[in-house]
Each structure stands twice: as C-alpha cells, then as structure tokens.
Amino acid sequence: MRPVPESCMAEPRLARLWAAREVVLFAVVTLLLLAGAAAAVAGAEKWASAVWAGTTLLGLAYSTITIAVALRHRQPSVDVIAWLALAGALLVGEPLAGAVIAVMLFTGGVLEARASARARRELSRLAAGAPRTARREGPDGVDEIPVDRVAVGDRLVVGAGELVPVDGRLLDGGVFDESALTGEPLPVERRAGEDVRSGVVNAGSATRMLATQTAAASTYAGVVRLVEQAQASSAPFVRLADRFALAFVPLTLLAAGLAWAISGQAVRAVAVLVVATPCPLLLAAPIAIMSGLSRMARHGVIVKGGAALERLAAGRVLLFDKTGTLTRGRPLLTGVITDRDMLADEVLRLSASLDQSSAHVLAAPIVTAARDRRLALSPAADVREQHGFGIEGTVDRHSVRLGKASWVVDGTAPDWVRRARRRAALDGSLTVFAAVDGRPAAVLLLSDPLRPDAPRMMRTLRDAGIGRTVLVTGDRADIAETVGRIVGVDAVYADRDPADKLAIVRTEQHTTPTIMVGDGVNDAPALAAAGVGVALAARGVTASAEAADVVLTADRVDGLADAILIARRSHRIARRAAAVGMALSLVAMVPAAAGLLTPVAGAILQEVIDVAAIGLALTALLPGRTHTVTLPPPDLAAARQLYAQHIAIRPLVEQIRAVADDLSVTQPDLRPMRALLDRLEGDLLPHERAEEAQLLPIIERALGGPDPTGALSRTHAEIEHQIRRLRRGSQDISDRPEPEDVTDLRAGLYGLYAIMQLHNAQEEENAFSLMPPATVEP
C-alpha cells in the first residue's frame, strides 16, 4: 500500500528515501525487536517491553494507513486482522508478540517491493537508452542531427556500436544486437533490403539505411509508451488475495470471538488473530504474479499489469487475426514469370536495382530476393515514382518500369501474362508487372507466407488447455480456409470488417474467457473487447499494441505460447502459495483457540508459515515449461548454415514449376528440363543429403519424443527418387517426343514441385522455427 505518491516528494533525497520505505521500516522494526531482546537478556524487562510496544505501535500505524487506503478504494483488506492482532497484543500485555507481528508485516512489504522492483526493472530495460541522435547523409557529407528531425526517405549511417535511430530498410548488410527488443542474446545478421527497427545496436561495422518511419512513429518510441502503460497499471494482484480475504477475515473474527467467549480469556482471541495474520502470507500471491511479469519481460513480452496476466492464464478460447499474426505480414517474392525471350534473374536484377530507391512496401521483398540470389544490383538513374501506379527509371541503359498492369502492359496481354494472372488468382498472390525498354518482360508474384512457428505453437497451446481456436480475418474465404487448415484452428470467419471481428469476440467472450491476437489497426477494437488482447509489435507499435493488454516485441507468434505457459504457471503458484499458507494458518487457529499457543509462540509460528508460503511463491522465478527450444551453440551454428542453403535453393525450386509451365506439347524443347535436372542433381540433392545427416539429428535432440523426423526423412528419399525418375524419363525420350511423353514429364515436374513445397514447409515448421527470434527470415 502506497498512501503518498512518489511524485509528491520534491526533494530527490527524500524521494529516494520514500522509494526505499519498506526496506527502511523493516530495518527499523527489526533493530527495535533485537534491541528489546537485548534489554530482556540484560534483565531490563520494562525497557524491553517499552521498545517492543513502540515496535507494535509502528506496525499498528502502518496497518492503519493501509486499511484507510483500501477503504478509500473500496477494496476489502486482510490487513484488518493484522491491525486487530497488533492492538490485541498491546491490550493483553504481549508486546513481544506485537513486535514479531510488526516484523512479519514489514518483511512482507520488503518482499513485495523487491519483486515489484524486479518486474519494473525488466520492463524498464526495454525503454532505457532510447536513440537521441542520427547521422544523416547529405550533399555535404554526413551530419549528426537530433533523432526527431529524421524524415521518411532520409539516408542514414549507423556506426559500429551505435543505436539504430528510426525504423528503416538496410542499404547494406549488417549484424545487430536486438536483445533490447526481443530478449535474444545472440547477434542477428540482416541482409541489405531487410527492415531494421529503432533501438537495436549495430554489432558489426558501419552500415547505411533508408528511414521508413519518423522517430515518433518508430518501434522504440512505441515500446517506451507501452512500458509506461505497464508501469502505470495499478497492482491487481490484490484481486486474488482479497478473494481469499472475503472468506478468511470473517472466519478468523468468528474463531477469535468464540475462543474469547467460551474461555473468557482475551489472550486466546489475540493468539487466534496472531496465527491468522495473513498480510505477508497473502503477499505470496502478488510476489508470484510479479515474478511471472519479470520472466515474461525477459522473453520480450510486455504485460500491462498483473490483472492482464491473470486473464491471460484464465483464457480458454484463442482468436487470431491472419495477416501479420499467423502470416508474416510482409510480402515475399514467390515467383518470376517471364516472356520466353527474357531471363528471370536478369529481369529481377533490373527490377531490384530500380526498387532500391523506393520506400514502397513491395520494394523491399523484390530487393531482398535479388540479393538472396546474389544478383549484382546497379544504381538507377532518372527515377520517377507515380503514386498509385508504380516506379520507372534507367538501369544499365535499359528503361525499366514496375507497377500495375494497366500502367506497364499496353494493349492485349500476351499468353504468359494471362497465365501469370491465373496463377496469382489461384494462389492469392500480389502481382508487380515489369517492362524493359517498353516491352512487357515479367510478372513478379508476391505472397504473405505462413509463419513457420504457428502450427507447432497451436499444438502446444492445445496441450496447455486452450479448448477452442478461431481465425477471424478480413481476407478471402478460400485463403482464410487454407491458412486455418494448415495451422489447425477450429473455426474460420472470413471477409470480416472490424465491427464483425468485435461482434465475434463479444459472442465468444460471453461464454468463455477469450484471448484475441492481432497486429493491425483494424484489430484494435477486438483486442480491447477480448478478455485479454495480445498484439505483435515487432515492426512498430500501432493502435493494436496500444489497445492490447499483452505485447510481443519479437517477430514470432510462438512467443504467445511462452507467455500463456508462464502466466498459467505463475497464477497456479500464486494460488497454491496462498492456499497452503492459509490452510496452515487455519490449522494453527485450533491450538491457539484452545490456549495451547501463546501470542508470542503463535507469532513465531505464523512467521514460519509466511516465510514458507512466500518461498513457495518465489519459485515462479525458476525456469518452468516453455514452448521455445534453446539450441546448443554448435547445433544453432549448423542450423543457420543449413538455413542459408535452404533460402538459396528456393529459386531453384520455383524453377521446377516454371520449366513445367513452359514445356509445350506441340513444340517440346527438353533442353531447359535437362539443364534443370543437372542443377537439381548438383545443388539440390547434396543439400537434402546434408540435411539428412546434420539437421535431422538436431531436431531429434531438440524435440525428443518418438520418431520426430520420420516424415522429413521419408520426403528426402522421395525427392531423390522423383529426380532420378525424371532423369531416366528424359534420357529415354528422343529430341522429338510424343505428346503423351511430354505430358508424363510435366506431371513428374509438377509432382516434384508439390513434394518440395510440402517438404520445405515441414522443415521450416519443425526445424528452422526452433532457431531464435529474428534468426529466421523469409
């Protein structure tokens, strides 16, 4: 209980003293108790009684203040038992019992203060050291400016060891320490074209970036606001303690009254009150809850108060938005469909060279894809961006135009363009049309991929007690149903606007406690209406994070599983600690009422009970079951190396489909297919064999259980079988094959492509999702 706010303390020295008041009061009453004991040993009984009586009065004054504060807030309080015990000890001439109760009272205050300070420290770590300045490139060189003067589109230089000042996109690759935001201690390597967030530290050499947000709209400023909200939240753990108090206080008063009435001895009533004094005991509940808040903060989860943690632990229905929650929320280049006369890599190189200068949301994945394929980008000249249509410029003396079909493709679209549109419609992909020297050259396909950590997280939550999962999205029904089937939700609501989402959340909340997870502005009403709202804020703090009760700062949805598991464990420990302590107090009331315990003996016994209960509550700080798997450094290094190869092999997998699409029955040309098979045998098969030898043992060690890698090993064998089958088929066919032979080869290519897509998704879900946050990027 804090009757005087810290802000009222004008003098810094007094403010520091007030902040440490629990420790100061505990030290004072402990010294007074020991001084009284010393006086009693020396034979000065009157002095000892006087000192102990003063200690009791100090505790009585403190409990009076806490009761007054509780009454002002119209809250029940168990401190009334402590007040009666202290007053009774004075009235029946048991000052030593009163002094012991006072020490017990302030011991609880110290423990609460330390647990609360630990939780605040873990939260404040996220907000400490906000960026203050930035170095901006200009015509006259690099100037250091205040961070609030950075504008979108500015080119910035971030030196070694410096904080990234604003959210942006990297122009050069770099290595960053993102632990302040994600809790992940290992440096993260990011490629040119990837997004980088404000507040992370450049752990490598100097790098350049393009600002995509102002300082006020960047991630770090939002995190600071969230931390301020979390720290301003009133301590709600009293709710759990006071639910016990509603029953315990009347029971205690009844037991004390009966003991007095039956025996006629007031000292027995005091003894009952002493053994029932539950103030430090019931601090076991808030200590456990605050320990849970502290553990969550270390996992990159901001929880806005203990009430949110309790509601998170109680949730049984989980509702998800799709975009940015179950999916990445960022487009990924999935295919380049070109005219027969154009090379896909060359069109992609020209497109990415032009898009380097753009801050458009679709520019980054195109640039990233080109760099993943190790294409040499060139500077673009005469760049002009037409809002709502696209961008054009000159790259290596070629006129390049990117954007909408109506702006890029003149007249009737060629067959390959119609094929690209049909594929995009079937896959739910975005399209960017590219023209080179005034001629349609390619269609770039982009999609929002599923988060690989989502399906495993969903299975963990079901094991933890989540009874129903629901996908609520504004996306098309066919796309939503596909995502829902993959992650394993129970119900899918598609084509829903924010008002529809709000109505669905309210309907679910009416029957069962709900948890709503989202990341967009349109999710904010639903997040606010749910039992507890959870927002992903890895790429910036939006209205959803402001409305949510829990915020995940790492760009991984499986952090939700850790948060729920920690919340449930902390809440379970809080209830267990309070229940155990209260049960022991009830048992101790019997000998106290019977006159077998004096008030002094009862106070010492109650102190032992309280320490035991608080010790049990502190076990919430110990590591418990979590969803996240920590890989040993050698396994993590091997997994990262294999993941880099996995990323590099993606264009080759897409080439399987492209070759199958171009394999004509009327004018078959088997040369592209045979060249593809050479690459599959030279690049893909060695990679799959390396995964069989290195990656699968890592998965077995990390996940355990019966045969966790059987399906992956079987698909490795099937991939090799299909490639050998295609090789034999292409060798047995002449250069002028029959139509049915071509049809068989196309079917084999499409089958191999489907197997590769499924296999890669399984590897990302079961293997690469085990790597730490920010290590796995599309």
Please state, rounded to an integer, the average pLDDT across all residues of the chain: 82
Residue 225 has pLDDT above 70, yes or no: no
Q: Which residues are catalytic?
A: 321
Residue 233 has pLDDT above 60, yes or no: no
pLDDT band at residue 11 using 50, 70 and 90 as cut-offs: very low
CA nearest 152: which of 221, 219, 197, 211? 211
Asked if 264 and 602 count as a contact pair (C-beta separation under 8 A), the reply is no
CA nearest 694: which of 720, 681, 712? 712
CA nearest 536: which of 329, 331, 332, 296? 329
pLDDT band at residue 15 using 50, 70 and 90 as cut-offs: very low
* Residues 502-531: tens digit of each pLDDT: 899 989 988 899 999 887 656 777 887 888
Average pLDDT value for residue range 688-716: 90
Please report the pLDDT score of residue 111 as a whole number: 64
Quote the Cα angle for 301-121-182, to 5°. Answer: 30
Residue 680 has pLDDT above 90, yes or no: yes
Of all residues in the chain, what percent carry a pLDDT higher than 90?
A: 19
Average pLDDT value for residue range 4-28: 56
| Tokens 């119209």 sit on residue | 74
CA nearest 153: which of 423, 443, 357? 357
Please report the pLDDT score of residue 4 as a whole number: 39
Please report the pLDDT score of residue 45 as a whole number: 82
Average pLDDT value for residue range 264-290: 78
Please report the pLDDT score of residue 301 as a whole number: 84
C-alpha span between 716 and 175 (Å, rounded) = 33
Considering only residues 547 and 708, tell me which one the structure prediction assigns the higher pLDDT.
708
Q: Which of 371-375, 413-417, 625-629, 765-769 has the lowest mean pLDDT?
A: 625-629
Listing DSSP states for 20-49 in one string gives THHHHHHHHHHHHHHHHHHHHHTT-HHHHH
Residue 19 has pLDDT above 60, yes or no: no
Residue 68 has pLDDT above 80, yes or no: yes
Please report the pLDDT score of residue 611 as a whole number: 81
* Residues 185-198: tens digit of each pLDDT: 556 778 888 888 88
Asked if 263 and 92 count as a contact pair (C-beta separation under 8 A), the reply is no
* Residues 541-588: tens digit of each pLDDT: 455 566 678 888 777 777 888 889 999 999 899 888 888 888 888 888
Distance of CA 505 to the CA centre of its chain: 21
Considering only residues 158 and 33, tell me which one the structure prediction assigns the higher pLDDT.
158
pLDDT band at residue 126 using 50, 70 and 90 as cut-offs: low
| Tokens 């959803």 sit on residue | 544
Please report the pLDDT score of residue 125 as a whole number: 55
Residue 774 has pLDDT above 60, yes or no: no
Residue 270 has pLDDT above 80, yes or no: yes
CA distances from 122 to 127, 138, 291 (A): 10, 39, 10
pLDDT band at residue 471 using 50, 70 and 90 as cut-offs: very high
C-alpha span between 526 and 497 (Å, rounded) = 11
Listing DSSP states for 240-267 in one string gives HHHHHHHHHHHHHHHHHHHHHHHH--HH
pLDDT band at residue 129 using 50, 70 and 90 as cut-offs: low
Residue 120 has pLDDT above 60, yes or no: no
Please report the pLDDT score of residue 29 as a whole number: 84
Residue 606 has pLDDT above 60, yes or no: yes
Average pLDDT value for residue range 423-448: 88
Q: Is 386 helix (H, G, I), strand (E, B) or coil?
A: strand
Tokens of 154: 């500015």
Say how many C-beta atoms besides its own lie within 10 A of residue 322's C-beta. 23
Please report the pLDDT score of residue 408 as a whole number: 85
Asked if 319 and 515 count as a contact pair (C-beta separation under 8 A), the reply is yes
Average pLDDT value for residue range 339-350: 86
Residue 234 has pLDDT above 50, yes or no: no
CA nearest 578: which of 242, 287, 282? 282
Asked if 101 and 603 count as a contact pair (C-beta separation under 8 A), the reply is yes
List the end-to-end C-alpha distance of the chain, in Å, as a whole number.
49
Please report the pLDDT score of residue 514 as a whole number: 92
* Residues 720-771: tens digit of each pLDDT: 999 999 999 888 777 677 888 888 999 999 999 999 999 999 998 888 888 8
Residue 454 has pLDDT above 90, yes or no: no
Considering only residues 239 and 694, tell me which one the structure prediction assigns the higher pLDDT.
694
C-alpha span between 458 and 466 (Å, rounded) = 9
Please report the pLDDT score of residue 36 as a whole number: 85
Strand order from edge to edge, sheet including 155-158: 141-146, 133-138, 155-158, 207-211, 168-170, 195-196
C-alpha span between 605 and 612 (Å, rounded) = 11
